[in-house]
Amino acid sequence: MPITQQQLQQILPNAGRQAGVFVPALNTAMNRYAIVGTPRAAAFIAQVGHESGQLLYVREIWGPTAQQAGYEGRADLGNTVKRDGSKYRGRGLIQITGRANYAACAEALGLDLINTPELLELPQNAAMSAAWFWSTNGLNTLADASDFVKITRRINGGVNGLEDRLALWERAKKVLA
């Protein structure tokens, strides 16, 4: 069953009008990647809610911080060209990061993200890239098992923001039940 704008606003109260902008894009993306049913949908909405500041940010805010400066030249991210770190900063609702991830996402979604990384900032692409990442990393299986901490580690590389993510997950499970 598709998520409604009202449900999305209940789960992500700070989203405001962005909930209406993103609900059709999220429903399309979640349907395409089988992120359906309460366990999967609740975990997905909670994670994208945290990663995007409740749908307010589809591009990583750039300082650069010390961590962001560390993106430069990182072979594991495919950042091999000068300024790749900034060019391929986190974008989309799950913050796809790095030239290699942009290239894989581009191939999967049929977008030219290498030359136009800003395409991930459009609502439909921001949602679809998040659902693609979710599916590619086997997160439906983890959601079915309620392994929310492992989902967080796969998305974030650690457990940054775990308290907020867990609070959003609990709210999402109640709203979507």
Catalogue the active-site residues: 51
One-letter amino acid identity for 13?
P
Would you call 59 helix, strand, or coil by DSSP? strand
Best CA proximity match to 33, nearest among 158, 161, 169, 143:
143
| Residue 66 and residue 24 in contact, taking contact as beta carbons nearer than 8 Å | no
CA distance 145 to 151: 10
List the beta strands (DSSP E) in the chain.
none
Q: Which residue has the tokens 């599916």?
A: 135
CA distance 117 to 33: 22
Token duo for residue 160: 């940054």
